[in-house]
Amino acid sequence: MFLLTSYRPAAAVVCAAALASLTACAGGTAAESVTESSPARAVAPSPTASHNGIEAKTTTEIYNLSHAANADAGSSRQRMSRANAASDLRVSATECTGTVTLTDVGSYDLVLKDNQGWIKPDTSFAKWMNAEAGEDLLDAGTWYHGTLDNHFVQSLTSYCHTDQFTSPDTLDASTKLTKKAVTTLDGQRVVPLVMEATGETVTWYAAATGRPYHVAQVSSRADMTDVTYSDFGTPVNARQPSGTVKAAPED
């Protein structure tokens, strides 16, 4: 009942294997039409940052170094968008807080702290969940609490990829990416790494100044995932909600 698919923020290995069919990364098929998609504009420029020389490295080195830099930062703000979902989350290895919106379903606020999760549905989301369940499970605007052993909590907090800070994504040396010339993304000098198959692409951007952060993932189709990363190292400060809190529904 609570099967809501989240995203993998980079998942290069998974995407590399699945890009030809575009199912694992997109939930669609290669036969569907291509729609140009732009990332949310969340990358803050750093005019005083020094050139880091990352563009001289191999595609594998750039990919791995940039994802390791994000993990080393300890936290970041992550804005995801695709045709059927969007999220704006602040994430660390143990915390996550923000909002997830599901197209034609509704949205919910979430707080994740260690093994504890809290979910607050809006009116549309609560109505949809209740219709799916055939009973009144949720009240709009009310926080629901449970541990990650609860399927409801586990599913709805799955957009919080806390493991990216403890096990950052790495690129297999056999995966073919194309390194493009240094360019500018929202005032940030970046190195693009492009994976292409069947005329469609996924591009990862690594900062070419300062720390070589992975600052964005951009796909050529609307039903694939775009993500931007910013506010590296800013504490998440997830707080347990106050006021009325109910137990999360069980399966």
Q: What is the pLDDT of residues 59-114, one digit of tens each?
A: 999 999 999 999 999 999 999 999 999 999 999 999 999 999 999 999 999 999 99
Res 151 pLDDT > 80: yes
Range from 28-32, 123-127, 184-188, 207-211 carrying the lowest mean pLDDT:
28-32
For 131-162, the DSSP string reads HHHTS----TT-EEEEETTSHHHHHHTTT--G
Spatial CA neighbour of 206 closest among 13, 15, 40, 65 = 65
pLDDT at 38: 36
pLDDT at 49: 73
pLDDT at 127: 97
Residue 34: band (very low, low, confident or very high) from pLDDT cuts 50, 70, 90:
very low
| 79, two tokens | 């804005």
Q: What is the pLDDT of residues 161-207, one digit of tens each?
A: 999 999 999 998 888 999 999 999 999 999 999 999 888 999 999 99
Rounded to a whole number of angstroms, the distance between the first and last alpha carbons of the chain is: 8
**Structural domain boundaries of the chain?**
10-76+170-234, 94-165
pLDDT at 243: 86
Do the bridges between strand 95-102 and strand 106-113 make them parallel or antiparallel, or are there none, so unpaired? antiparallel
If you average pLDDT over every residue of the chain, what do you get?
84
Residue 223: band (very low, low, confident or very high) from pLDDT cuts 50, 70, 90:
confident
Of residues 9 and 196, more confidence is placed in 196
Do the bridges between strand 106-113 and strand 143-147 make them parallel or antiparallel, or are there none, so unpaired? unpaired
pLDDT at 179: 97
